[in-house]
Structure 1
Amino acid sequence: MSQDPSSPNFEEIYENYRQQGAIQANEEQFQSAAAEGQESIVAVRKNNDGDIIAVQTSAGRELDYVTALSEAKNGALANVDVFHRFGRDILRSEPDGIKDNNLDNLPLF
């Protein structure tokens, strides 16, 4: 079944809506973090196995993984959680349904 060229492309409209929502959610998270005096993680460094070994914050600081864990536990880093699994603490982005801001999907530095 072919689509009538004069009818709206519902999938495209919905995808644009989702993308705009993701952009707006990211902006709101950064604004909220800044208002609370927190930094956000904006980029990551990975080893050859793809494990995150360091992070870069919105203030430009580069933190090794252990320091980032410590700062997240102390509430200095926004939009991340620390949980205990496999006998160690693990840093992860807060679940918000937006894949683009997951730590694994952030830009590399």
Structure 2
Amino acid sequence: MEEITKVQRNYHGDIISFQTSGGRIISYQKAVLEAAEGILKGVEIHENEWGEYEIYSSDTANKGFDEYPTIF
């Protein structure tokens, strides 16, 4: 299983993609799908009030990936 190691954010600060421990760069939506399938470890997915799925770190101290380094 792979873990998320880095993030890429847009100019608004929203995460748009992730880098995995295997070196793959995947989109936010691909990460949500892989987390649901159990391919990614160390993350949780939750449905928000609009019915969209969001991905969070399982690390209780860093739910929003704030401490993760950037890809570029």
Match for residue 107 of structure 1 among 58, 69, 72: 69
Task: Name the CA distance, whole Å, in 1 between partners of 2:8 and 2:29.
Answer: 13
Report the aligned-residue RMSD: 1.5
Task: Name the CA distance, whole Å, in 1 between partners of 2:29 and 2:19.
Answer: 13
Partner of 1:92: 56
In structure 2, runs of 5+ residues without a counterpart are none
Bigger strand share? 2
Task: Name the CA distance, whole Å, in 1 between partners of 2:59 and 2:21.
Answer: 19
Alignment of 1:6-17 (within 5 A): none
Task: Name the CA distance, whole Å, in 2 between partners of 1:48 and 1:54.
Answer: 13
Tell me the CA shift for residue 102 of structure 1. Answer: 4.9
Task: Name the CA distance, whole Å, in 2 between partners of 1:45 and 1:86.
Answer: 24
Identity, % of aligned positions: 33
Question: With CA pairs under 8 Å and 6+ residues apart, which has the higher RCO, 1 or 2?
Answer: 2
Could you say if the C-alpha distance between residues 42 and 95 of structure 1 is closer, same or farther in structure 2, counting changes exceeding 3 Å? Answer: closer
Task: Name the CA distance, whole Å, in 2 between partners of 1:102 and 1:52.
Answer: 9
Aligned partner of residue 66 in structure 1, secondary structure: helix
Q: Detail structure 1 runs of 4+ shifted over 6 Å in the superposition.
A: none
Q: How many residues align?
A: 70
Tell me the CA shift for residue 103 of structure 1. Answer: 1.4
